[in-house]
């Protein structure tokens, strides 16, 4: 089994005439179709809203595209709030899910009318001290502790996570917030990351739905929405089966009918904060082979590096690699595909079987649409690449230019040392 790029070699050869490699390329058609499929999967819930996780792909052109698809934004910092505002998001189209939050960020979120999702019990007083009041609509992040299992498989370890309130804390939080004037409550939880299973969301939903019923019964709070957050993953490896969002949506609906409807809570809106699922497969990193090295191993050196895609270096994450134009050739050569950083972990692939790679070949590194460009950095003085959007009509739009040395040196603009660079 293999992964097929969403762009052809012929199209890439056109693109590189105007935009030098490396660059991130996004697939507008795929993004729109996926957003519509998510909406379809939860159409049974009248108040459903996807709040795209801005951290995954913080680009205003992407945010505007998703806004056209009916999405809001999930923000976790001041600059993400600012970008959302600039793109026309306002009020309850913005969810502010932050942690260890500075007061000025709470204040800015409140100014925008965003829904504030409190990560910790102590943030209740902190928020009131910052704003002088508690918003009428407020959300709390829940962490049940322990480990999260599907069948006998441990998916993640919420008890080891810095996020969220304990069970006892969230009940007390609802009571205090209600006494301080809150009228509409939300519950939020994120218990596992990048799950490639249709069971995660329905299990999470059932757990949160049961919590919501108990919170309403014990505190009298009006639970207006439940935020299932992120966690729906993508198949980075070609032998993985992708999630079926329609099956997931139906599983959540069954839990909703079993738990909330009998409790008289059939009007509760559902929210998601997906990033990887929304954008991951619809972006790729395009790079060119510029060197080959034959020592104790066989190396292909490309013009991209971990600055452009940090996940393999940081997590040992797998990203599939396609040598464009050689898709039908046998993968009979073993390579490490590497970048130029002065770090030995700057490797996109280790002991990867590929067709013979020649200098000048274009390589597509798959599934970089989320947490790809966004995690980039400037170690070794390397500069971040351009981001391009492959439009539905086949044209290409630059949605972020490549950095220049002037960008790298801009924070020295208070002195004359680098003014000529």
Catalytic residues: 342
Please report, for residues 6, 322, 372, the alpha-carbon distance to residue 368 in angstroms, rounded to integers and kept in the order given. 12, 13, 5
Neighbours of 32 (CB within 10 A): 16
Terminal CA-CA length for the chain:
48
Give the DSSP letter string of 48-83: -EEEEEGGGS--HHHHHHHHHTT-EEEE-SHHHHHH
265 touches 213 (CB < 8 A): yes
Neighbours of 292 (CB within 10 A): 14
- DSSP 3-state assignment of 2? coil
Secondary structure element (H or E) that encloses residue 285, with its range: strand 283-294
- DSSP 3-state assignment of 126? helix
Give which of 280, 286, 236, 279 is closest to 25, Cα–Cα.
286
- Kindly report the length of the chain: 421
Please report, for residues 197, 223, 247, 266, the alpha-carbon distance to residue 188 in angstroms, rounded to integers and kept in the order given. 20, 11, 22, 18
Measure the CA–CA gap between 247 and 288, rounded to whole angstroms. 39
7: phi > 0 → left, psi -120 to 50 → alpha, else beta; which? beta
Tokens of 187: 């519950």
Q: Spell out the residues 6+ positions from residue 350 whose beta carbon is closer than 8 angstroms to its own.
A: 336
Strands 223-227 and 283-294: what pairing? unpaired
Neighbours of 357 (CB within 10 A): 21
124 touches 130 (CB < 8 A): no
Nearest 5°: the CA angle 160, 163, 169 is 100
């Amino acid at each position: 089994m293999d992964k097929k790029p969403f762009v052809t070699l012929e199209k890439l050869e056109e693109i590189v005439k105007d935009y030098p490699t490396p660059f991130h390329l996004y697939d507008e058609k795929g993004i729109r179709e996926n957003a519509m499929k998510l909406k379809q999967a939860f159409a049974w819930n009248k108040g459903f809203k996807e709040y795209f996780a801005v951290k995954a792909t913080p680009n205003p052109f992407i945010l505007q595209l998703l806004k056209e698809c009916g999405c809001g934004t999930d923000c976790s910092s001041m600059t993400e709030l600012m970008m959302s505002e600039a793109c026309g998001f306002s009020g309850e189209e913005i969810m502010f899910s932050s942690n260890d939050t500075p007061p000025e960020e709470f204040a800015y979120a409140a100014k925008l009318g965003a829904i504030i999702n409190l990560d910790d019990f102590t943030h209740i007083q902190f928020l009131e001290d910052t704003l002088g009041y508690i918003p009428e609509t407020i959300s709390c992040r829940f962490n049940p502790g322990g480990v999260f299992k599907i069948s006998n498989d441990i998916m993640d370890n919420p008890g080891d996570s810095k996020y969220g309130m304990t069970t006892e804390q969230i009940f007390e939080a609802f009571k205090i917030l209600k006494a301080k004037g809150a009228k509409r409550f939300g519950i939020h939880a994120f218990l596992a990351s990048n799950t490639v299973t249709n069971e995660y969301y329905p299990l999470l939903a059932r757990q949160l739905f049961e919590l919501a019923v108990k919170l309403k019964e014990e505190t009298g709070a009006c639970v207006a929405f439940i935020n299932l957050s992120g966690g729906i993953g993508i198949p980075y490896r070609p032998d993985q089966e992708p999630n079926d969002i329609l099956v997931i949506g139906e599983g959540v609906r069954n839990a909703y009918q079993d738990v909330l409807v009998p409790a008289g809570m059939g009007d509760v809106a559902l929210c998601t904060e997906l990033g990887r699922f929304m954008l991951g497969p619809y972006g790729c990193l395009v790079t060119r082979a510029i060197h080959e090295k034959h020592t104790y191993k066989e190396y292909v050196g490309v013009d991209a590096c971990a600055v452009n895609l940090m996940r393999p270096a940081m997590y040992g994450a797998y990203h599939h690699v396609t040598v464009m134009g050689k898709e039908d050739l046998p993968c009979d050569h073993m390579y490490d595909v590497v970048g130029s950083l002065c770090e030995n972990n700057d490797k996109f692939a280790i002991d990867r079987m590929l067709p013979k790679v020649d200098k000048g070949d274009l390589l597509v590194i798959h599934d970089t649409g989320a947490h790809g460009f966004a995690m980039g950095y400037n170690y070794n003085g390397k500069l971040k690449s351009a981001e391009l959007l492959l439009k539905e009509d086949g044209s290409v739009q630059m949605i972020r230019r490549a950095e220049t040395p002037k960008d790298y040196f801009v924070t020295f603009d208070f002195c004359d040392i680098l003014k000529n660079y």
